[in-house]
Amino acid sequence: MEQQAKKIYTPKEYLELEAASETKHEYFGGEIFAMSGGGYNHALIGTNLLIALGNRLKGKPCRPLGSDARIYTPSGFYTYPDAVVIFGKPEFVPAETHAPTQTITNPALIAEVLSESTRNYDKGGKFDLYRAIPSFTDYLLIEQDRIQLSHFRKTANGEWILHDYKPDDKNVVIDSLQLELDIAELYDGVEF
């Protein structure tokens, strides 16, 4: 039996398909990948995070956005993180090189709520792709089945430092955005 060649899509084709789709997809290297939906804890933690970010960033030149915000990396990766924070004005993929979009290119903070099926990808390959974004300074990974967070922060010389937060820690400190997040607030209402 003859094996069919894998369909390769252009960014323009991906964006046109995505605009008509009821579900979200990632795009990289000409391939389109369906994104899995999260469960109740995933959604609750994501909502708690957006509320906390919104409250703490009021009056600052930063804006938090939820999982409907699509971002783009210089390597050509399109995806929908659980939350992003943009410092200053949002920058978008230029319409003259792709189909008209609202794809953000300048996130400062990216947050992912982890699940069994995405944990390794979020910590590995996806993080590698995110690190190519010049404006990206903070990566927050939040477990949904236990109280545990990992915060990667980029230093002035471009190195990434990891700080793991455990249940007895009170706050996550994000110096680049001059804010602290109450860990208990992020897990408010979550049952394990």
- What ranges do the domains of the chain cover? 39-186
What pLDDT score was predicted for residue 96? 46
Question: Which of 174, 175, 86 minimizes the C-alpha distance to 183?
Answer: 174
Mean pLDDT for the chain?
Answer: 92
What are 76-109's pLDDT values in tens digits? 999 999 999 999 999 998 864 555 568 999 999 9
pLDDT at residue 188 greater than cutoff 60: yes
According to the model, what pLDDT value does residue 1 have?
57
- What CATH number labels 39-186? 3.90.1570.10
Q: Which two tokens stand for residue 34?
A: 């369906």
Q: Kindly state the average pLDDT of the residues 120-136.
A: 94
Question: Residue 147: exposed, middle, or buried by beta-carbon count in 10 A (0-12, 13-18, 19+)?
Answer: middle
- Greater model confidence, 25 or 94: 25
For the ranges 2-6, 18-22, 164-168, which has the lowest average pLDDT?
2-6
Span 30-38, mean pLDDT? 87
Task: From 142, 136, 156, select the one nearest 86 (Cα to Cα).
Answer: 136
- Two structure tokens written together for 87: 């410092």
Higher pLDDT, 181 or 99: 181
Task: State the pLDDT at residue 100.
Answer: 53
Is the pLDDT assigned to residue 3 strictly greater than 80? no
Condensed to tens digits (0 to 9), the pLDDT of residues 45-83 reads 999 999 999 999 999 999 999 999 999 999 999 999 999
pLDDT of residue 101: 61
Residue 148 CA, chain-centre distance (Å), reads 17
What local confidence, expressed as pLDDT, does residue 6 receive? 82
